[in-house]
Amino acid sequence: MASREGAIGRAQEFFDQGGFRDRLAELVAIPSTSQEARHEPALAEYLDRGLGAWLARLGFESTRNANPREGFGPILTAHRMEDPERPTVLLYGHGDTVAGLDAQWSEGLSPWTLTHREDRWYGRGTADNKGQHALNLAALEAVLAERGGKLGFNVKLVIETAEERGSLGLRDFVAANREALAADVLIASDGPRVVPELPTIATGTRGTFHFDLMVALRQGGVHSGHWGGLTRDPAVLLAHALTAIMDRDGKLLVRDWLPQGGEGLPDSVRTVLKGCPVGGGGGAASIDEGWGEPGFTAAEKIYGWNSFIVLAMESGVPANPVNAVAPWARAHCQIRYTVDSDPMQFEPALRRHLDAHGLQAVAIEKAAIRMPASRTDPAHPWVQWAQASMEKSLGKRVQVIPNSSGGLPGDVFVDHLGLPLVWVPHSYNGCKQHGPDEHLLVAPAREGIAAFAGLWWDLGEAETPADGTYPK
């Protein structure tokens, strides 16, 4: 007799016997990076050969659509409709990856070959994002098999291939296809857990706002002996601008940039983050005590607050310095922000702040939102339902966070489809997803396929938020 336990058992057996590893190896072998023009044909290949036949076996009708933005990768849509009266879930993922960086991987590893070492599967896309959406589809396949070819609910799918280029075109595409993509909830996977061993649900993501600080004083460099000490140095002015923005301990000094105008964390955010751990990343990064907003926990800093980062900075010719006062200095900067902030105020607030510090010579250029922030209330019924389902399947606590620390295009699905967001990450923050040696940890992946088998099973049962019977 079909059962929830049977569905989870099928998913775990597929995983343990190597079926999922082999499936993921096939997907990784397609070099579908959107950041290298020579691999552009692989974007369509991933959607057609990598996913197309698999989705057909699962009963989906799928279409590869041109991206509304010329020069950006195609978008796959698919649907499997059983009963319009039953809940409809929208799945999202991206089949594109960052550049392979082939020459930078450790000896014996290659970006386009899945390699199993100890507790890790190495390969480009294992964590970001092929492995994550493949786990969810494999779990769906297990539930279909357990229920004899039925799910008891409806599924729609969007797989884009321009996420690593800012998801350009996705917003236009979803807006133009809002009726075809209508659903009750988005349940998808990307990003990291809070720590590798703790299953996590994120109800949104921080946004990204970019700008340049530019100090341009003259047409060319001037002799450092003749002019040093007499003429202004753009690099020094730029350094003062940066220290006016953030102090030596990482506290943001432009308080108008902060959530709720710097008045503190929203109560709902502070409550859900109480006791939330952060860590397990490994590698060169560390959580530096005393860095960031004073009095905040690490979780509050990256899941509930805003951060400022200098992504690049240049003055003169660092590779070949000459004895000259440089003509200009530039820093490319980023703000990671939550929905509790107003990004339209970032540039004018910074201008006021710099002027108040006598830094009128520092210009702000190319200021713009790269990816908007998004969030569903952590107390939303769909979030509570997903958390309860996962805890039942895994027999352990599931941490809910108001938004993940990175960025995803959740705002697109909120703005145009009105969907609550349930992001269930299967990776961790040490997965090296944008560098060499990207990998997926085997143990969290196994938990992920079990958790999603339980989620898919429960969606086919009664008492879901879609019919108003959850919570009871």
Cα diameter, the chain: 89
Q: Cα–Cα distance between 453 and 447 in angstroms, integer?
A: 10
Name the nearest CA neighbour of 386 among 202, 205, 206: 202
Question: Which parts of the chain sit beneath pLDDT 70?
Answer: 281-285, 472
The strand pairing partners of 185, in sequence order, are: 89
Q: What number of residues does the chain have?
A: 472
DSSP string, 411-446: HHHHHHH---EEE---B-TTS-TTSTT-EEEHHHHH
**377-398 pLDDT, tens digit each:** 999 999 999 999 999 999 999 9
pLDDT score recorded for residue 213? 98
Which tokens sit at 128? Answer: 């970001």
DSSP state of 70: T
Q: What count of other Cβ atoms lies within 10 Å of the Cβ of residue 469?
A: 11
CA dist., res. 98 & res. 161, Å (int): 11
pLDDT at 284 (0 to 100): 61
- Classify residue 462 as exposed, middle or buried by CB count within 10 Å of its CB (0-12, 13-18, 19+): exposed
pLDDT the model gives residue 472: 65
CA 343 to chain centre: 19
SS3 293: coil
User: What pLDDT does 268 receive?
Assistant: 87
Q: Considering the entire predicted model, what is its pTM?
A: 0.93
- State residue 227's pLDDT score: 93
Please give the pLDDT value at position 463.
87
Pick from 154, 72, 172: which is nearest to 415 by CA?
172
Give the per-residue pLDDT at 405.
84
CA–CA separation, 447 and 466 (whole Å): 26
Radius of gyration of the chain (CA): 24
For residues 110 and 433, give the distance between their C-alpha atoms in angstroms, rounded to a whole number. 14
For residue 377, the model assigns a pLDDT of 93
How far apart are alpha carbons 451 and 421 in whole angstroms?
A: 17
As a whole number of angstroms, the distance between CA 103 and CA 108 comes to 11
